[in-house]
Amino acid sequence: MFSSRVPGELAPNRLTAAVAAHRAANRPCLDLTATNPTTVGLHYPGDLLAPLAGAAGLTYRPEPFGLRTAREAVAADYARRGISVAVARVVLTSSTSEAYSVLFKLLCAPAGDDVLVPEPSYPLFDHLTRLDGVASRPYALEYHGRWTLDERSVDTAWTSRTRAVLAVSPNNPTGSVLSAGELGAIAGRCADRDAALIVDEVFGDYGLADPSAVGPGGNPWRGSGALTFRLGGLSKSAGLPQVKLGWIAVDGPGDLVDGALERLELICDTYLSVSTPVQVAAPALIAGGAAIREQIRHRIRTNYSALRELASGDPSVEVLHADGGWSAILRVPSTHSEEDYVIGLLERRGILVHPGFFFDFPREAFLVISLLPDPRVFADGVGRLMEHLRD
């Protein structure tokens, strides 16, 4: 049901109590918040993880940035998306979350420095920044028929202690993709103000219509002069969250990149967190994950199309435009609070959705659902949701 990462202050007692009571009563529930690809009926070949048992994994070879063969596979996967990344600039981590922590250690001094984060967005950033003693300051994404960057909010949020700007493209949950111009605007500010740009592209393979709609290929902001870090991982690109392999691709002016890599080497050598078997298996896992990725693409596009069709008959409900990612957003009448909507849907219709406030939407009323469930479950759940709204 609700993610274990929900901060207490974002989960009112009445809502969490309703979810707990539903669980305790063992009542059936259609979970429209499910985002674990391994539990939604996708086909995973039985031997997909066999490369993890390779004999080469029995020999420990500590490399701060990871084994070269694994980093070559990551660079080749970037090339598949039209992005040129030098192997020497690829850094392996155990997850994208760890990549953020590594970069906060690299860029920020605890108890003083801050980073700018998009809003709305996934509340994970609240935890990651706090755990590293870094403050987070929001900048706004605004919806006017599609999501756009509010550049003025970036300037308003910026302080003398801002060390990085986080950009998530496609964003979770808005599904919005920053244009080359928007990325360039952020990168230009970072270059001018001696800050770094961190671009989270974990959903970069998942356009909801045109595959190219997930964002510009190549490095459109390279000329800005900003030190840039691109984040990815097997969790989303191959539908393998259990395997725990992420990566950072470092870009920007040579002197800034060289200095960052030198400091990153010390940080990564201190932890050496990525297991040898997953590094040895990385080329095979990245290649084998393509079949899972195609299933996910088909699933989210099928469900997004079904959602738009099912919601089209009710003018009071709007499916917000999304370019990519695994989530969809419904704007519903603000005659009830999001909390009331979610509890009512759970208790009366047996379906679970996320309230918009979970993702720091600035106003009500929005409901967020996952596009990953089995299409029959998804259509049934959305049908019940629409019935509830009509009633």
Evaluate if residue 382 carries a pLDDT over 90: yes
Q: What's the pLDDT at 24?
A: 83
What are φ and ψ of residue 330, in 5° steps?
-110, 130
Instruction: Judge whether 250 and 38 are in contact, CB under 8 Å.
Output: no
Tell me the per-residue pLDDT of 236-276, one tens digit each, with 9 for 90 and over: 999 999 999 999 999 999 999 999 999 999 999 999 999 99
Tell me the per-residue pLDDT of 113-146, one tens digit each, with 9 for 90 and over: 999 999 999 989 999 999 999 999 999 999 999 9
Tokens standing for residue 365? 């009323």
- Maximum alpha-carbon separation in the chain: 63
Tell me the per-residue pLDDT of 176-218, one tens digit each, with 9 for 90 and over: 999 999 999 999 999 999 999 999 999 999 999 765 556 555 5
Q: Which residues of 10-36 are buried (b: 16+ CB within 10 A; e: fewer)?
A: ebeeebeebbeebeeeeeebbbbbbbe
Element (H, E) at 192: helix 180-192
Instruction: Judge whether 238 and 203 are in contact, CB under 8 Å.
Output: no
Domains of the chain: 8-43+289-390 (3.90.1150.10), 55-288 (3.40.640.10)
Evaluate if residue 10 carries a pLDDT over 90: no
Q: What's the pLDDT at 20?
A: 84
Evaluate if residue 101 carries a pLDDT over 70: yes
Judge if pTM exceeds 0.75: yes
Closest CA to 119 of 165, 84, 161, 53: 165
